[in-house]
Amino acid sequence: MNIYEQTGRIFDIQRYSIHDGPGIRTIVFLKGCYLRCRWCCNPESQEYKLQELTQGGKTRTVGRDVTVGEVMDEIRRDAVYYSRSGGGVTLSGGECMAQPEFSEALLRAVHEYGYTTAIETTAFASREVVDRLLPHVDYFLLDIKHMDSEKHRQFCGKPNDVILENARYIAQNAKNLVIRVPTVPTFNASAEEIAAIARFADSLPRVGELHLLPYHRLGQDKYAGIGREYTLSHITPPTNEEMEQLAAAARAAAPRLHVQIGG
Amino acid sequence: MGELKFVIQKSPRIDRLIAHLFAKMPEIEADRAELVTESYKQTEHLPIIKRRSAAFRYILENIPIVIRPEELIVGSNSLAPRGCQTFPEYSFEWLEPEFDTIATREADPFYISKETVERLKKVHPYWKGKTVSDLAAAGMDPEVLDVFLNHGMFTVGNYFYNGVGHINVNYAKVINKGLEAIIDEAKAAMAKLHRGMGDYQKRKQFQEAVIESCEAVIAYAARYADLARREAAYCADPARRAELLEIAENCTRVPGKPARSFYEACQSFWFIQQLLQCESSGHSISPGRFDQYMYPLFKKDMDAGVLTYEKAQEYIDCIWVKLNDLNKVRDAASAEGFAGYGLFQNLIVGGQNEQGVDATNDLSYMCMEATMHVRLPQPSLSIRVWNCSPHDLLIKAASVTREGLGVPAFYNDEVIIPAIMARGLTLEDARDYCIIGCVEPQKGAKTDGWHDAAFFNMCRPLELVFSNGMDKGKQIGLRTGEVEQMTSFEEFFDAYKKQQLHMIEMMVHADNAVDYAHGVRCPLPFESCLCDDCIERGLSLQEGGAHYNFTGPQGFGIANMTDALLAVKTLVFDEKKVTMAEMKQALADNFGKGILPKKAVELTTQITRELMAGGASVNDDTIRTVYRNLTNAETVDPAKKARYAEILSMIEALPKYGNDLPEIDSFAREVGNTYTKPLEHYTNPRGGIFQAGLYPVSANVPLGYQTGATPDGRLAFTPIADGVGPASGRDVKGPTATANSVARLDHGIASNGTLFNQKFHPSALSSMASLEKFVAYLRGYFDQKGMHVQYNVVSRETLIDAQKNPEKYKNLVVRVAGYSALFTTLSRSLQDDIIARTEHGTVK
């Protein structure tokens, strides 16, 4: 099949994204994810099925089925900015590995136009799917949320063993890999937990950067909007000082890595 | 990757100069008004050009002078810091009813002492019937004057009440040759005259006025030299004494003779900048390419080892502070349109030279550094960008943008050069352009551009289509037919174009009446002698002496009109979901919504007055009812209200300008052309042509306040979209989409300038990497032939907090449509407008 005719399910396209890979990027948000991270700022992304979301008194349907060609029409509008900045397209979600046919076709199409590709992924996927996407991804932005599998399961709905195995495999085979850590109080925002992740990241070949992404609650209202309860309403975002302390802990644990706060 | 260059330590003097300047509310002074009146009374037998130079000389001989604490560059038009003089020869009537309220008004308040009020009241009667404003009004056809004063279709108020300004002069000539050389030029021109020439008298009188004006300026500098020497004699601090003596030496030398050092060049520049403002009450007297004409002496001193970067930076910083010392009082209505005490002194760095080679130098960077140091609204800092601009210059500019001062504004050489060549400039002159005021390009020191000639409200002709040319009970527009009878969108759009053209013609007529009045009543010999070809032609700028002459009135409302016309096309004609009669009624009823409380108060007063005049008895209850009806739209029947809500949501669902939709954007281009194209055919009294601009400064708020509801869903009396950007909040696809839409307009034809504001959250510029991306974004917009863009980088929360606690944010600067202003000095409605603009770069 022609890759431009491949269909997939997305819920948003965001242009002028500057914190998710090099240059100016367009992010395509895919719908559906294997994990259920309790802090997720896009809760409407988790279910694959179409959903109603009510915000500010208005209800809209989240999710739409599109072809790669349609998405490319939107992506191409910012071509001038990609070429000026070395930017391109980032697939996010949801989880792009949950729609491997669509993701692969879209990444190939982006490459055909000469833009760079990146994916933001949980790496919760089969090896077969990882292998399928690997050749078409210039930059992996991979989340490692916790080194303790049980705690990972409690907060994200799944254990972390598949993720860690895939992280090691991707590190051995990817062109570029950045490890990102959503830093969430009561979950992983302690010096020990961050240091453990940093040591793991440090052990991966060719990983040069570790990004600590401070927890924020900007997505909180959307939980009520899709009829769900937000279970983290009792926590507050880490302060700048706390983030600096965690970054220092990560740097101490992994002196080889460039550690930064934010993407 | 770029590098952040020229990060230079700020002299501690700078913050002290600023603290002194901003310690008090600005004050109105009476000296100039008294002196100009005394002089005029003595010169009634002279031709006007000689009366002007005599008055200028008399003012400069007698106006009180002051050296402010710790100043290195001296020269002030008022004793009070940021004070201002008045200019009764242009107009004065508006000031009298404001004597009691001007200190407490919302936009740009000024302190005025009882004594000053008395002094002004004494001189004002002399000017009755003698002002530029009087002559301009007399020159307008009565129905045009009525439309201008009472119907808010357009306003030519700026130059109707004030001087024109909007000029760049030959600073380089004064710095390098001195005013004595200009006196010699005028004498040489006089020597060439022979008695048989038909315009012998006129030319001779002009040259004499030039000589008198230049001599007056040299003598004024000598007064400062004396003052500095006297202060030095009493100064206990040896360091300051030495500074004062150096100031005395500078003022003895310049601007009469050529400057020998960078410091002298700075002082020479300053006297010119200051005294142009004293001669006329014009604003937007723009320093232009400061980094170019100041560079030779900077380089000479640096090469000779007698100047350091730190010292040079301190001088530049001092000039930046001085630019904020100049001030101007406007009437309350104009103050809203130009809010923020702005004098729009535009200073531009970078770009190419006359030969087409990039001309960026050290001063280009240091000018930006100065803006970071002083963090004040003046100068309006601009940067020229072209394909060969050094990347580091743009990185530096982005780092200035990040400071949230709203500057620099970015200009695209690749669009502007061909645009002004199409207006008759040579290639060399076009390459050497600078920017005047807000966004207006011109070849400096050779042009009387009459930029900012009028604000034209592009929404109002559409109202005339719906009313068949009626406004406030009067037939001021054309009879384009009953709107309900129109059978196609083409017919409707054609009616809009006809009404628009009718109003454009009235505006041109009004502008030319004002233009002519300036030539007759207020020619400016000093300003003229610093601009080509006035001396050669023996003619003042105001009478057409410049090499290039233009009139540039600016239209605004493209975004609203694009969305509005398309809403009518789609809902009324194509899909037939709404009848034209319904649309007309919906607009008249403001879509069933109540109107703004401030406007409701005004209208309540008006209605009760009419009721009483009609013999009705009016009590408190009547007044309350009228007011409630207006604010809650209670007279509109609930069934209608429900239908209006439906119509509004249909309008809201339509695609809008600003979202990178090529079909809509190309229609926006067509809408823009309905204003820009017809203007090209008109001429002005100075022998030049009209050229359109597309920007409102901040008049989109006060003129929106006079505009009823529009079919794009904009409610009555709310602000109109600012500049060429989308209407507030309607661009939802991010900054690249917005920029792509805006770039699709025809910027080249709007050679009087276009203005595109964007607001960024600080998170979009936080790191060096994001500065790189920001520069790439700017480049991408300019690759697509955008002409101008400027950025506000502030958080919404910051602005809301500043609104609540103005005292905490006294130095918060925002870019308001073409210039920077102190946010807390803006009116509440303008603050709201800024807050409402779409914000980019927030976290997903």
pLDDT per residue as tens digits for the range B411-426: 999 999 999 999 999 9
Predicted local distance difference test score (pLDDT) of residue B389: 97
State the distance between the two ends of chain A, measured CA to CA, in whole angstroms: 36
Residue in B481, B486, B459 with CA at minimum distance from that of residue B470: B481
Higher-pLDDT residue of B537, B801: B537
State the distance between the two ends of chain B, measured CA to CA, in whole angstroms: 27
**CB B773 to CB A42 under 8 A?**
no
DSSP letters, A85-109, are HT-EEEEESS-GGGSHHHHHHHHHH
Just give the CATH number of A3-261. 3.20.20.70
CA distance B780 to chain A (A): 5
d(CA B814, CA B607): 38
Q: Which amino acid is at A104?
A: E
Residue in B434, B355, B689, B676 with CA at minimum distance from that of residue B548: B689
Place of tokens 């007011």: B627
Compute the average pLDDT of residues A211-228: 85
Residue in B828, B775, B836, B825 with CA at minimum distance from that of residue B377: B825
Residue in B453, B530, B458, B547 with CA at minimum distance from that of residue B500: B458
CA distance A232 to chain B (A): 18
- Kindly provide the ipTM of the predicted complex, given to two decimals: 0.91
Contact partners, residue B471, CB within 8 Å, separation at least 6: B151, B153, B463, B464, B477
pLDDT > 60? residue B811: no
Question: Residue B608: which pLDDT band, with cuts at 50, 70 and 90?
Answer: confident
**CB A81 to CB B737 under 8 A?**
no
Predicted local distance difference test score (pLDDT) of residue B833: 65
pLDDT tens profile A5-56: 999 999 999 898 888 889 999 999 999 999 999 999 889 999 999 999 987 6
d(CA A83, CA A78): 9
Question: In Å, how far are B175, B296, B312 from B302, measured between CA atoms?
Answer: 18, 10, 9
Mutate to test the interface with A, among B736, B761, B768, B778 (most CBs of A within 10 A): B736
**CB B773 to CB A262 under 8 A?**
no
The residues of B assigned a catalytic role are 438, 440
Mutate to test the interface with B, among A25, A81, A178 (most CBs of B within 10 A): A81
Counting one residue from chain A and one from chain B, the pairs whose CB atoms sit within 8 A come to: 62
Is residue A220 within 8 angstroms of chain B, CB to CB?
no
Q: Is B633 helix (H, G, I), strand (E, B) or coil?
A: coil
Domain boundaries, chain A: 3-261
Q: Which amino acid is at B658?
A: G
The residue of chain A with its CA nearest to that of B649 is A58
**CB B773 to CB A80 under 8 A?**
no
Compute the average pLDDT of residues B657-671: 96
CB A106 within 8 A of CB A8: yes
Smallest Cβ–Cβ distance between A15 and the set B733, B773, B842 belongs to B733
Indicate yes or no: pTM above 0.90. yes
The residue of chain B with its CA nearest to that of A24 is B773
Contact partners, residue B733, CB within 8 Å, separation at least 6: A15, B659, B660
Backbone φ and ψ of A121, nearest 5°: -140, 155
Question: How many other C-beta atoms are found inside a 10 Å radius of the C-beta of residue A258?
Answer: 12
Helix (H) or strand (E) run with residue B165 in it = none
d(CA A23, CA A14): 14
Helix (H) or strand (E) run with residue A154 in it = helix A149-156
Is residue A84 within 8 angstroms of chain B, CB to CB?
yes
CB B336 within 8 A of CB B827: yes
Smallest Cβ–Cβ distance between A80 and the set B773, B784, B842 belongs to B784
Q: Could you tell me if residue B837 is left (phi over 0), alpha (psi between -120 and 50 degrees) or otherwise beta?
A: beta
**CB A23 to CB B740 under 8 A?**
no
pLDDT tens profile B283-295: 999 999 999 999 9
Looking at residue B636, the DSSP 8-state letter turns out to be S
Helix (H) or strand (E) run with residue A34 in it = none
Q: Is B563 helix (H, G, I), strand (E, B) or coil?
A: helix
The residue of chain B with its CA nearest to that of A23 is B773
Place of tokens 């030495």: B242
Burial grade of B566 (CB within 10 A; 0-12, 13-18, 19 or more): buried
pLDDT > 80? residue B211: yes
Predicted local distance difference test score (pLDDT) of residue B839: 47
pLDDT tens profile B760-783: 766 678 788 889 999 999 999 999
Question: Residue B830: which pLDDT band, with cuts at 50, 70 and 90?
Answer: low
| Chain A partners within 8 Å of B763 (Cβ) | 19
CA distance B164 to chain A (A): 40
| Chain B partners within 8 Å of A19 (Cβ) | 763, 770
Question: How many other C-beta atoms are found inside a 10 Å radius of the C-beta of residue A61?
Answer: 10
Is residue A50 within 8 angstroms of chain B, CB to CB?
no
Compute the average pLDDT of residues B718-729: 88
Looking at residue A233, the DSSP 8-state letter turns out to be T
Burial grade of B44 (CB within 10 A; 0-12, 13-18, 19 or more): exposed
CB B276 within 8 A of CB B255: no
pLDDT > 80? residue B796: no
Tokens of B109: 């308040």
Compute the average pLDDT of residues A78-102: 96
Residue in B737, B580, B582 with CA at minimum distance from that of residue B644: B582
Contact partners, residue A58, CB within 8 Å, separation at least 6: none
Question: How many other C-beta atoms are found inside a 10 Å radius of the C-beta of residue A252?
Answer: 12
pLDDT > 90? residue A216: no
Is residue A14 within 8 angstroms of chain B, CB to CB?
yes
Question: Residue B837: which pLDDT band, with cuts at 50, 70 and 90?
Answer: low
